[in-house]
């Protein structure tokens, strides 16, 4: 009897010691007081539940990646320094002549705006995959791929077929995928591609030197680089659903961007940092950026993630919103903003900026769809227009600021993108490209319904309570 009591006492004491260790870590590293208090209360009140949860999802910094980036590989740091100090022959404007809002983006992620690029706007999966297939077929030296979701379906098998053919021609292939996003990816698909000579790594595991049990962090980036000269970035993963052609599937609306020119070096650097975390193998890549023959567009590649010194994704959006003069239009499938982003949107609308948020009517997450309703009243009262895209599921992540610049990438307006995911965005100031994005978004808005306060206030009390309750889960959505 006394032995059982001693065992229970030791177990309880151990749990509370573990809880104290978690609280110590929280107090040293927390980013929001609300989140820190919630964790502390849970750890003190229900340590047997909260301690395992904190180990799984409680960290807010991707520690091993930080070491791999800043301490473990000086070569990558040198490459970043070299790219940051590129001569004015490929830089869009001297650093001192950039507007403050664009200059600060360069400082945040240590990459320059580069000139001599050509960007092509790719609307939806069909145009994107065709461009991907064509450029991979034209690759002569290497192909770098990094995607959150890779599937062994028709698109996946077409990709694998091209890669196997290029490997047979002597082209190197380096594939990085996320364990969580690609959880259903066939092991056979991977083994066959590896047997053909591809180098493959998963982001979640990390390498033996830096492995950490950090399941809550995801690599949400979607990029491809061919020979260091052509690159792709945007919202489209490698799967049939991004075509929206399945019999039982709603139409899929997404946006991607093809880049040719020096900015591709920025994509390549982001890929290499991620690969450095996941594998000890080192590819030989082309680090001699050359201007495109087809354009003189200014482009900045802006990678963000939980290994950054600052909350770079949040700061990016805040920078865009706070500096908008006439309009800011944002599209996102997941609209669950924190109070900083929501306050900035309200202030922008109150100072006369045309603020429009385009979100899907048909969502792949009902919790996110319901949570979005809870923002309606404060949005409408400030003059923010929230539009729900009607024809099908809208997955694009696009920002349009005035007529001055636009951004296409992988980041959503939710806590996961702001603080937990590795994301990447391409920013361009090209007048022609900005015009293309404006026309695209006007067409999307023409197929969207403007929401009103009544869409929330006139619903049942139970629905409104549900919306507010789900919104409490915003940090986890």
- Residue 273: helix, strand or coil by DSSP? helix
Main-chain dihedrals φ then ψ at residue 133, nearest 5 degrees: -60, -45
- Give the bridge partners for 330, in sequence order: 357, 399
For the question of residue 402 being annotated catalytic, the response is: yes
| Neighbouring-strand partners of residue 353 | none
From the list 153, 227, 274, 414, the catalytic residue is 227
Q: How far is CA 336 from CA 356, 368, 388, 477, in A?
A: 15, 7, 14, 8
With 0-12 / 13-18 / 19 or more C-beta atoms within 10 angstroms meaning exposed / middle / buried, residue 367 is middle
Q: By C-alpha distance, which of 394, 336, 410 is closest to 360?
A: 394
Cα 392-424-206 angle, rounded to 5 deg: 110
- Residues 400/329, Cβ–Cβ less than 8 Å: yes
- The 10 Å Cβ neighbour count of residue 142 is 20
Which one is catalytic: 160, 256, 298, 395?
395
Active-site residue 397, yes or no? yes
The Cα 409–Cα 397 span in angstroms is: 6
Tell me if residue 157 is catalytic. Answer: no
Judge whether 227 counts as a catalytic residue: yes
Query: Is there a catalytic annotation at residue 308?
Result: no
Beta bridge partners of 245: none
Q: Where are the beta strands (DSSP E) in 2-155?
A: 114-123, 142-147
Collect all residues with Cβ–Cβ distance below 8 Å to 275 and sequence separation of at least 6: 144, 146, 174, 176, 201, 283
What span, in angstroms and rounded, lies between the C-alpha atoms of 366 and 357? 18
d(CA 121, CA 136): 18
The DSSP bridge partners found for residue 402 are none
Alpha carbon distance 420, 443 (integer Å)? 32
Query: Cβ distance 325 to 354 under 8 Å?
Result: no
Positive or negative torsion for Cα 295, 404, 105, 91: positive
What is the sign of the dihedral through the CA atoms of 255, 373, 240 and 160?
A: positive
Q: Is position 395 annotated as part of the catalytic site?
A: yes
The catalytically annotated residue of 115, 308, 397, 444 is 397
Cα dist from 284 to 141, 165, 202, 227, 281, whole Å: 10, 20, 20, 11, 10
Out of 118, 160, 166, 222, the active site residue is: 222
Catalytic residue among 166, 220, 256, 298: 220
Query: Which position among 103, 240, 286, 402 bears the catalytic label?
Result: 402
Q: Annotate 235-254 with DSSP letters as a single string.
A: S--BSGGGTT-STT---EE-
> Largest Cα–Cα distance in the chain?
83
Catalytic site positions = 220, 222, 227, 395, 397, 402
């Amino acid at each position: 009897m006394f032995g059982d009591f001693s065992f229970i006492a030791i177990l309880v004491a151990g749990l509370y010691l573990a809880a104290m260790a978690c609280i110590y870590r929280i107090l040293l590293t927390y980013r929001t007081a609300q989140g820190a208090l919630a964790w502390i209360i849970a750890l003190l009140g229900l340590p047997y539940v909260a301690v395992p949860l904190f180990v799984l999802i409680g960290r807010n910094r991707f520690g091993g990646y930080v070491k791999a980036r800043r301490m473990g590989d000086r070569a990558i740091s040198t490459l970043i320094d070299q790219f940051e100090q590129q001569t004015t022959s490929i830089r869009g404007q001297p650093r001192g002549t950039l507007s403050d809002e664009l200059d600060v983006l360069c400082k945040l992620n240590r990459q320059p705006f580069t000139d001599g690029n050509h960007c092509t706007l790719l609307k939806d999966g069909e145009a994107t995959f065709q461009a991907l297939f064509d450029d991979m077929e034209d690759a002569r030296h290497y192909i770098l791929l990094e995607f959150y979701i890779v599937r062994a379906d028709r698109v996946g098998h077409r990709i694998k077929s091209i890669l196997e053919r290029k490997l047979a021609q002597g082209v190197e292939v380096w594939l990085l995928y996320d364990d969580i996003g690609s959880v259903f990816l066939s092991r056979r698909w991977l083994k066959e591609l590896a047997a053909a000579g591809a180098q493959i790594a998963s982001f979640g595991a990390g390498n033996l030197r830096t492995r950490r049990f950090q399941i809550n962090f995801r690599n949400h980036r979607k990029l491809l680089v061919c020979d260091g000269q052509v690159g792709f970035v945007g919202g489209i993963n490698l799967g049939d659903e991004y075509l929206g052609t399945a019999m039982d599937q709603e139409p899929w609306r997404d946006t991607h961007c093809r880049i040719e020119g020096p900015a591709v070096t920025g994509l390549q650097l982001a890929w290499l940092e991620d690969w450095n975390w996941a594998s000890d193998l080192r590819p030989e890549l082309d680090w001699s950026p050359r201007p495109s023959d087809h354009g003189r567009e200014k482009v900045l590649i802006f990678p963000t993630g939980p290994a950054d010194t600052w909350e770079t994704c949040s700061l990016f959006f805040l920078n865009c919103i706070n500096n908008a003069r006439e309009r800011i239009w944002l599209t996102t499938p997941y609209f669950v903003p924190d109070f900083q982003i929501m306050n900035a949107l309200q202030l922008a609308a109150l100072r006369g900026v045309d603020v429009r948020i385009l979100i899907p009517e048909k969502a792949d997450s009902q919790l996110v769809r319901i949570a979005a309703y809870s923002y309606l009243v404060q949005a409408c009262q400030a003059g923010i227009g929230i539009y729900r895209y009607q024809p099908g599921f809208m997955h694009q992540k696009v920002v349009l600021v005035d007529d001055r610049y636009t951004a296409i990438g992988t980041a959503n307006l939710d806590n996961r993108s702001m603080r937990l995911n590795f994301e990447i965005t391409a920013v361009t100031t090209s007048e022609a490209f900005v015009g293309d994005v404006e026309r695209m978004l006007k067409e999307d808005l023409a197929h969207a319904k403007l929401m009103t306060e009544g869409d929330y206030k006139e619903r049942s009390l139970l629905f409104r309570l549900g919306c507010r309750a789900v919104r409490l889960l915003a940090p986890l959505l």
